Amino acid sequence: MDKDDAKKLPYPLIHPDVCKGCGRCISACPKNVLEMSEKFNGSSYHYAQYIGEGCIGCANCYYTCPEPLALEVHVQEKKKTTK
Amino acid sequence: MAEKIIGRLDGLYKDFSRKGGAVTKATHYCPGCGHGVIHKLIAEAMVDLGIEDRTIMISPVGCSVFAYYYFDCGNIQVAHGRAPAVATGISRAEDKSVIVSYQGDGDLASIGLNETMQAANRGEKIAVIFVNNSVYGMTGGQMAPTTLVGEVTSTTLDGRDSDATGFPLHMCEIVNTLDAPVYIERVSVSDISKIRRAKKAIYKALEIQRDAKGYAFVEILSPCPTVVSGNSKANTEFLNTLMEKEFPLGLLRDKSQDAKPFYREDSCFSKDKLDSLFSLSTYGNKDAQIDENFKDLEVKFSGFGGQGVLSMGLMLAKAGCVDGRFVSWYPSYGPEQRGGTSNCAVKISGRQLSTPVIDKTDILMATNRASLDKFAGDVRRGGIIIYDSVIGDYKMPRGVKAIGVPAVEIAKKFGSERAANTVMIGVLMAVGNTNLSDESFERAIEETFVAKPKLIPMNIKVLKEAYEWAKSQ
């Protein structure tokens, strides 16, 4: 997994070992910032990965992903504007 | 900077340990399968509506047979197509529950079609999530009721031929002919825009359940890349074009605004209530008590149909009831009214029984030779076989005590051959080590003949005579 702690929000977090490489998230991404890995994971699947920038936090990838625990999207909490 | 995570749903387990395998965080579904997407949408709706604690998910037969690996709520897995029946039962017993009946096209539209129609017609409080992928996925892609005309499956190698196998069933439209359903919509999870619409439909169906308003039916066109198209992209295309052409998406009915919540009377399974329901008020037996020290007893009664072996078993079962034990009585007989063989298994225990079936027996009560042939080998070492002596000589298994009883002879002394069963019970009471009180047997006789009170004194005399006979042997 990416060791970069100072990741810029928003970003998707994909767990390579849980991904089965169906590619649905890659098709769903409006910014084309997801790609299929060259490598295989422990279950011999290619896995989806984030190219590292350009995510807008729309969560399209999350909702199209068929694996409930493979992918999550970290976004900035919306601040409630108080007047 | 405050961070929010989309994902990590509370409605699904954080680890699928029930599934097991090398990667317990991954589902058992194929890559690109629609089930996972739909599971997430249901879980999200469940959490958003705050109904996790009262939701009962019904897993069908099909790929989603293991839905209970994933959903963090109540779960039941049911026989093929029987989800509407089980859902009805739960809904009526637990009125406050929210029931989600998760079914595939083979399960709902083929083997379960009748029950689906009946439950919809009654307007049961169920959210039906009907996952339509156009094939039997789990068994390898055979033709299903929803297979498109021309679609190639493993049982329609040249494509579905409507002359031979008819046309796809349109379940939403069929359900829409009924009066009772509150909400009917067809959605798809082929791509992200459709998934967002599906999310709303699922939320709505569950919301209707939260508000106890009635039957909701959501059909979801769902990808099965493994058997339908080979990969996710091609499957999305298949769903968006061919499937949607046959099964147009859209809202067919939404009466949720006008529908009134309806509640049933609280179900009561108390002994008093059941007794009065089944006119058993004469019993007045105490409830069964847990007693770890009570030695479980397993008895088989077997003989010709019409000889009364089933009622003999009932007498023992009743004695167990009188003594406050947990009891089961499980009959087995052929279709003939008389002349065939019949048997029943009686279990008496100090703990709740999980099954009425018995393999080995402590005591066999046999009234014909065929019964000995069939069941003598099942008696445990140190067990007892009590048989009618008219059977004559019989080579009994080793390590088993066998007692031939001249049942008819003893019964005749009191003027009724038909009391031979009572003789057998009297012998059982004397030598059976049943750990049941003698009084409970007498009470059992009284209860057996409650409709013919004249027979009670005679049968009690027969019981005592048989008891004395057995003790004197």
* Helix (H), strand (E), coil (C) string for chain A: CCCCCCCCCCEEEECCCCCCCCCHHHHHCCCCCEEEEEEECCCCCEEEEECCCCCCCCCHHHHHCCCCCCEEEEEECCCCCCC
- B247 and B314, same domain (yes or no): no
B187, containing H or E segment: strand B183-188
CA dihedral sign, ordered B155, B161, B162, B167: positive
Q: Model's pTM, two decimal places? A: 0.73
CA distance B98 to B212: 8
**What percent of chain B has pLDDT above 70?**
97
- B358 and B237, same domain (yes or no): no
CA distance A7 to A16: 18
Q: Do A20 and B23 touch (CB under 8 A)?
A: no
The whole-number pLDDT of residue A1 equals 45
Q: How is chain A split into domains, by residue range?
A: 13-74
Average pLDDT across chain A, whole number: 89
CA distance A75 to B5: 6
**Final residue before a domain boundary, out of B202, B236, B254:** B254
Average pLDDT across chain B, whole number: 93
State the nearest Cα–Cα gap between B201 and chain A, in angstroms: 15
Q: Which of A22, A58, A62, A73 to mutate to test the interface with B (most CBs of B within 10 A)?
A: A22
Q: Is the peptide bond prior to A16 cis by the omega test (within 30 degrees of 0)?
A: no
- B319 and B177, same domain (yes or no): no
CA dihedral sign, ordered B267, B273, B279, B284: positive
A75 has a chain B CB within 8 A of its CB: yes
Q: Domain containing B440 — which CATH number?
A: 3.40.920.10
Convert the pLDDT of each residue in B379-388 to its tens digit: 999 999 999 9
- B331 and B220, same domain (yes or no): no
- B324 and B238, same domain (yes or no): no
Asked if the model's pLDDT at residue A80 lies above 90, the reply is no
**Which fold, A13-74?**
Alpha-Beta Plaits (3.30.70)
Contact, B414 vs B465, CB < 8 A?
yes
A72 has a chain B CB within 8 A of its CB: yes
**Final residue before a domain boundary, out of B232, B254, B276:** B254
- B174 and B304, same domain (yes or no): no
- B122 and B240, same domain (yes or no): yes
Candidates B12, B30, B195; nearest CB to A64: B195
Contact, B245 vs B149, CB < 8 A?
no
- Residue B408 CA from chain centroid, whole number: 41
The whole-number pLDDT of residue B286 equals 73
Q: Do B25 and A17 touch (CB under 8 A)?
A: yes
What is the span of the domain harbouring residue B298?
287-472
Number of domains in chain B: 2
The verdict on residue B18 lying in a domain is: no
CA dihedral sign, ordered B157, B159, B162, B163: negative
Contact, B439 vs B460, CB < 8 A?
no
- B241 and B319, same domain (yes or no): no
Phi first, then psi, for residue B295 (nearest 5°) are: -80, 120
Q: Do B4 and A74 touch (CB under 8 A)?
A: yes
The verdict on residue B77 lying in a domain is: yes
Convert the pLDDT of each residue in B135-176 to its tens digit: 999 998 999 999 999 999 999 999 999 999 999 999 999 999
Interface of A with B in 12-71 (CB under 8 A): 15, 17-18, 20-24, 27-28, 42-43, 45, 57, 59-60, 62-71
CA distance A18 to A42: 9
For chain B, residues with pLDDT lower than 70 are 1, 280-285, 335-339
Is beta strand B297-304 parallel, antiparallel or unpaired with respect to B250-254?
unpaired
Band (pLDDT 50/70/90 cuts) for residue A83 is: very low
Q: Which residues contact B446 (CB under 8 A, 6 or more apart)?
A: B456, B460
The whole-number pLDDT of residue B312 equals 94
The verdict on residue B399 lying in a domain is: yes
- B314 and B232, same domain (yes or no): no
